[in-house]
Structure 1
Amino acid sequence: MIQAHIKAFLAILLVAQVHGIMFFLEPNSHKCLKEEVHANVLVTGEYEVSEAMGQKANYVIQDSKGHILSQKEDIPHGKLLKFSFVTETYDTFEICFISRVPNHQRGIRQEVTLITKRGIEAKSYEGIGEAAKLKPVEVELKRLEDLSEAIVQDFARMRKNEEEMRDTNEATNTRVLYFSLFSICILFGLSTWQLFYFRRFFRMKKLIE
């Protein structure tokens, strides 16, 4: 039972490292996708743009500061192409596909297929095994070792995020408590002032002694 749970968790983790999407790119328009990626993570991708005579399609990948990580102009239509980059910091990365159609031509929408991989799934363990002359079993052990390390890092990040959220909640609760006490003091002061004011007013009108 425990082994089954572990295998299921590993499968979920691997799926979380791979993202695939298909969308339509309208003529003379652009469509962008954003994703948050941690620091020092390898990101690879495969993309394909359907054929459209006379139309051009470009893509660009950049971070939140506008630094270009990968780009290609006039993407060949109907061919599966690849890109890769390594993140330097934790940031939000954006990949945009842009359509360009001449003014004298009526454009058609193009189908774009995009598959991105990051972390463990982005590595080519076959290439690593061939370069290091490793046996298939050793390659699989290397892959499992990296996967275990990725799981530990994910748990560490989850714990850090939980601690940050807890600290934020505690700080917010403290501020709310102080604000509530301050509001009570203000209301008590206003009530006391109103009591003395109306008492003095009624005495001046000789309504009370």
Structure 2
Amino acid sequence: MGEYEVSDVPGQIIDYIARDSKGHILSQKEHITKGKFSFMSEVYDAYEICFISKVPPHQRGIPQEVSLVTKKGVETKSYEGIGEASKLKPLEVDLKRLEDLSDSIVRDFVLMRKREEEMRDTNGKSENTLQAQNNMIMF
């Protein structure tokens, strides 16, 4: 979920496209200047949001400024709407928000721990390879 705003340059047209790491298109729009976008995914992944400036052949391209604000996870939920739909008291809505936030933090720590282990494995393999090469050079 996010918002964007692109500076106006006469003759230049801006499109945006959002993709996941496999290249699947999650969201796209043509001829944009200002607006919002959103997409959902069930998996943790890297996403790219590209803004493409199209310039007519007879015109020289001019740099454009793009303002982009993104939100993810718990930030995107409307807890007021959830509270109204479930007829929750304000304190219960706050408790639900804190519960979701703590779940998000736990998931982030699990992912960081997994990355740390992967990096440690990579460093160990690199160290062993370098030691083997150094031993071969000495003999």
Q: Name the TM-score, length of structure 2 as normaliser.
A: 0.79
Question: How far has the Cα of 1:114 moved from its partner?
Answer: 0.8
CA deviations 1:144-175 (Å, max 9, x no partner) are 11111111112212222222222233333333
Partner of 2:3: 46
Aligned twin of 1:116: 70
Runs of 5+ unmatched residues, structure 2? none
Task: Quote the residue 1:95 is aligned against.
Answer: 49
5+ residue gaps, structure 1, are 1-43, 188-209
1:179, distance to aligned residue in structure 2 (A): 4.2
Give the letter aligned to residue 20 of structure 2.
D
Q: 2:15 aligns with which of 50, 58, 66?
A: 58
Residue identity opposite 1:167 in structure 2: D
Q: Which has the higher strand share?
A: 1
Q: Which whole-Å CA distance do the structure 2 matches of 1:171 and 1:105 have between them? A: 53
Q: Aligned pair count?
A: 139
Is 2:22 the counterpart of 1:68? no
- Cα offset, 1:183, TM superposition: 4.7
Taking structure 1 as the reference length, what is the TM-score of the superposition?
Answer: 0.56
Q: CA RMSD in A?
A: 2.6
**Distance of aligned partners of 1:152 and 1:91 in 2 relative to their CA distance in 1, 3 Å threshold:** closer
| 1:157 corresponding residue in structure 2 | 111
C-alpha distance 141-108 of structure 1, shift in aligned 2 (>3 A) = same
The alignment status of 1:144 with 2:98, answered yes or no, reads yes
Taking a change above 3 Å as real, the CA distance of residues 152 and 84 of structure 1, as seen in their structure-2 partners, is: same
Task: After TM superposition, give the deviation of residue 143 of structure 1 in Å.
Answer: 0.9
